[in-house]
Chain A
Amino acid sequence: GQQVMQIPQYQHVQEGEDFTTYCNSSTTLSNIQWYKQRPGGHPVFLIQLVKSGEVKKQKRLTFQFGEAKKNSSLHITATQTTDVGTYFCAGAMNRDDKIIFGKGTRLHILP
């Protein structure tokens, strides 16, 4: 069945450093979504990518969807303590399919 894999599982970075998490699918995806979950909180929708090679930016966050629509990345520039949390990608093979969540990347910021 469809699998969505994320790496790394954990990442510790110094405040101000950049951070990247990667999402890889065993199959071509119709769309990919990214969510952020703060410690003790619930997942919050960040963005959705649907086009091959698509790049979207939200302030210091850059999201990319691969040309083959099998992988995606989230890059945070100059991390801040407010970036702490777990970042999940989620994808679906077809538009109407239920999305499958990756295992997430837990980001810890060292002050």
Chain B
Amino acid sequence: SAVISQKPSRDICQRGTSLTIQCQVDSQVTMMFWYRQQPGQSLTLIATANQGSEATYESGFVIDKFPISRPNLTFSTLTVSNMSPEDSSIYLCSVENSNYEQYFGPGTRLTVT
């Protein structure tokens, strides 16, 4: 399985500001995803980060609010823009191997005040 790191691990931000979360993988992977998880809740897929092209967003998530970069096969960023308290959540990146198994990063705990 891949080793995945995320930065920052947590942050407290003021409403109206933006935060960029980084996800680094120790090997090249094709499929990389960004999820959101409210405390005690399930995982909601935000988007698939595509290398070399625009991310594919799920219903309810838009590029203006959650711009994603994927400059290469080992790295991606997710920006949470113009934050409001409703954006307080845990944000997780994950990668998928050739067997469709997903491996998650440690997550970024975001609190918006």
- A residues touching B (Cβ–Cβ < 8 Å)? 31, 33, 35, 41-45, 48, 88, 90, 92, 95, 98-99, 101-104, 106
Contacts and interface: CB of A to CB of B under 8 A. Distances in A.
The interface residues of chain B, by DSSP majority, are classed as loop
Interface in B87-113: 92, 99-107
Contacts of B45: 98
Interface in B55-113: 92, 99-107
A95 B43 CA distance: 20
A88 B33 CA distance: 17
Interface of B: 1, 33, 40-43, 45, 48, 92, 99-107
A90 B40 CA distance: 17
Contacts of A99: 100, 102
A42 B107 contact: yes
Given A42-B104, A98-B48, A48 B41 contact: no
Given A42-B105, A42-B106, A98-B48, A31 B42 contact: no
24 contacts: A31-B100, A33-B100, A33-B101, A33-B102, A42-B92, A42-B105, A42-B107, A43-B43, A43-B92, A44-B104, A45-B102, A48-B99, A48-B100, A48-B101, A88-B43, A98-B33, A98-B45, A98-B48, A99-B100, A99-B102, A103-B41, A103-B42, A104-B42, A106-B40
Contacts of A106: 40
